[in-house]
Amino acid sequence: MGDSKELTLDEIVALCKRRGFIFQSSEIYGGLGSTYDYGHYGVLLKNNVKAEWWRAVVQERDDMVALDAAILMHPRTWEASGHLEGFTDPLVQCLGDCKRRWREDHVREEQLGAEDAEGEIVCPNCSGELSDPMQFNLMFKTHMGPVAESGSEVYLRPETAQGIFVNFKNVLQFARKKPPFGIAQIGKSFRNEITPGNFIFRTREFEQMEIEFFVPPAEAPEWHQKWMEDRMSWYTELGIRPDNLRLREHGSDELSHYSSATSDIEYLFPMGWSELEGVANRGDYDLTKHAEFSGEKLEYFDQQSGDRYVPYVIEPSAGADRATLAFLVDAYDVEEVEGRERTVLRIHPRLAPVKVAVLPLVSKEGMPERAREIHQQLRQVVPAEFDEGGSIGKRYRRQDEIGTPYCLTIDGQTIEDGTVTLRDRDTLEQTRIPADDVVSEIERRLGEPWSPPARS
Ligand code: GAP
């Protein structure tokens, strides 16, 4: 397989469930619409995605600092940002049999070829007549404090970005940075999407990995370009095949209320090209609005030149769940080995949930202890798993499906000559190496450059 055009999302969903990556939320109660829980390997994988993002955008740069803002923010934030008024999608309801609700722009695109195409649309489910569209605000509303009264209303943030803008002054004071510099944050966001779907692609609760990069206004186009290139490279360096990735510039009718230019990094998901990450030039929209609504000065004063200005903002905004899905889809491969089908996640070793599995083959005297010892040494340096249950074929299949790059088998020969067998997930090559060298050999291999192998 390997070509994501042939792969269906159902195969990914099935693998995620079978191997404990991702489950439907509240499954025992029948599930809750489009919310998902991450199981052990899903947590490890998504953590690795977030850690790689963090490493690339914070750890390896001098011009970025970190932030972790609260999910609940002062309600004025959303007035200032324009979300209360403008963060809406056009909702239509079926007036026929099924009464289902749809996003009008999506139905227009599907039935008439473009989001803004003129003409009649019908319910995609039962072909019934549709209501006139109404603007539906996507923010989840709740109440702060014991009484649900107006005035105590707060919102679950629909993007992490606003937490960064309202902290601009704090960061400027304490981080000793001057534009160009950026603030990075990973956190949950919530949107009451009208039509969530496609597994973890569009959910109502999701994690964002966002950067607000503050620049002198004249430098904004140049930084916008740089960030698009940097972010594209991040995905390909982590193994996404370049053919499955593209940049698409937004048309003027698509731009968000705050953006003067946005390009989407799109991935070829099984349901077609779809947004993976947006890279927007937000201009001075947000800082100006928050200054207006809060009465605080949100600008940069350059003491050397005497210049005072409101920085422009370049915003690379990625979804941790969407990125995780893209890495899973791109890695998924099925091949035939010795007449049997093998499903394997050819995921970048840096993202793999488990780096090495220790698989004892015989239970001769001294063997399990030796295998445990090796596992113990390995887990000090990398995530390592010990698996002694079932046939070796089954154990390999399990490790292949969770994308473990290396498996070590400990067998009768280990006691005799102190060697173990190291199996490579991608090439299936098996090498005997001294057990004493296992840790250094695994570290050496994991440190080597990796690129996605050719597909069967
Ligand atoms: N601050 C800008 C912003 O939030 P966005 O294009 O609405 O821009 C950025 O969202 C990224 O967040 C998207 O590219 C996607 O990866 C992720 N995202 C947005 N809505 C999502 C949803 N409902 N489910 C999962 N991920 C979502």
Half-sphere exposure of 263 toward its Cβ, with a 13 Å CA cutoff?
Answer: 17
Instruction: Mark whether 237 and 386 lie in a shared domain.
Output: no
Place of tokens 């009649």: 120
CA nearest ligand 1 atom 25, residue: 202
With respect to residue 54, please indicate whether it lies within any of the assigned structural domains.
Answer: yes
Instruction: Mark whether 435 and 307 lie in a shared domain.
Output: no
With respect to residue 398, please indicate whether it lies within any of the assigned structural domains.
Answer: yes
pLDDT in tens, 419-448: 999 999 999 999 999 999 999 999 999 999
Instruction: Mark whether 365 and 434 lie in a shared domain.
Output: yes
247 close to 265: Cβ distance less than 8 angstroms: yes
pTM of full prediction above 0.85 = yes
How many structural domains does the chain have? 3
205 ligand 1 Cβ < 6 A:
no
pLDDT in tens, 273-330: 999 999 999 999 999 999 999 999 999 998 888 999 999 999 999 999 999 999 999 9
Instruction: Mark whether 101 and 75 lie in a shared domain.
Output: no
Instruction: Mark whether 35 and 51 lie in a shared domain.
Output: yes
Domain with 93, as residue range(s), is 88-136
Instruction: Mark whether 173 and 197 lie in a shared domain.
Output: yes
With respect to residue 272, please indicate whether it lies within any of the assigned structural domains.
Answer: no
With respect to residue 41, please indicate whether it lies within any of the assigned structural domains.
Answer: yes
With respect to residue 285, please indicate whether it lies within any of the assigned structural domains.
Answer: yes
With respect to residue 337, please indicate whether it lies within any of the assigned structural domains.
Answer: no
CA nearest ligand 1 atom 14, residue: 277
83 ligand 1 Cβ < 6 A:
no
Instruction: Mark whether 211 and 323 lie in a shared domain.
Output: yes
Instruction: Mark whether 128 and 146 lie in a shared domain.
Output: no
Instruction: Mark whether 181 and 231 lie in a shared domain.
Output: yes
Confidence (pLDDT) at 403: 98
Instruction: Mark whether 159 and 298 lie in a shared domain.
Output: yes
Res 1 pLDDT > 70: no
Which amino acid belongs to residue 68? D
Instruction: Mark whether 131 and 143 lie in a shared domain.
Output: no
With respect to residue 152, please indicate whether it lies within any of the assigned structural domains.
Answer: yes
179 close to 214: Cβ distance less than 8 angstroms: yes
pLDDT in tens, 160-183: 999 999 999 999 988 888 999 999
Atom of ligand 1 nearest to the CA of 264: 14
